[in-house]
Amino acid sequence: MPVNAKRPVNPILIPIISAPHFILGGLLTAFNWNRLGFPGKARNTVKWSIIGTIAVIIIAFYIPVDTLKKMWSVGVGINLGTGMALRTLQLPEYQKAMSKLKQVKG
């Protein structure tokens, strides 16, 4: 991470942001990948978040509304699980960047 670059958001927040819908966590993750210097990973994260959202919409289209209302906790679980996976993928690079930043400032 260049010295004058803006700091990324701590990836620990990604699961919280993902709770309403995992695409929000995907966008935060992509934002962080860009700030960490990985634009390719940012593009892939956005691409797969959009594909995942489309897949969930298509699957939900074929499930009756009454059943969907009973399965709200499954949706929350999918969102949080995706957020936790994104956090786990990004945390090592974030920690490397923050340790380099401390060395430069220290």
Q: What is the pLDDT of residues 41-100, one digit of tens each?
A: 999 999 999 999 999 999 999 999 999 999 999 999 999 999 999 999 999 999 999 998
In a domain, 82, yes or no: yes
Residue range(s) defining the domain that contains residue 39 = 17-90
In a domain, 67, yes or no: yes
In a domain, 23, yes or no: yes
> Which pLDDT score is estimated for 82?
95
Sign of CA dihedral 53, 14, 4, 95: negative
Mean pLDDT, the chain, rounded, equals 91
In a domain, 9, yes or no: no
In a domain, 34, yes or no: yes
Q: Count the domains in the chain.
A: 1
In a domain, 105, yes or no: no
In a domain, 68, yes or no: yes
Indicate if the pLDDT at residue 106 is higher than 80: no
> Which pLDDT score is estimated for 103?
82
In a domain, 10, yes or no: no
Q: If residue 99 lies in a helix (H) or strand (E), which one and from where to where? A: helix 72-105
> Which pLDDT score is estimated for 2?
53
N- to C-terminal Cα separation, the chain? 16
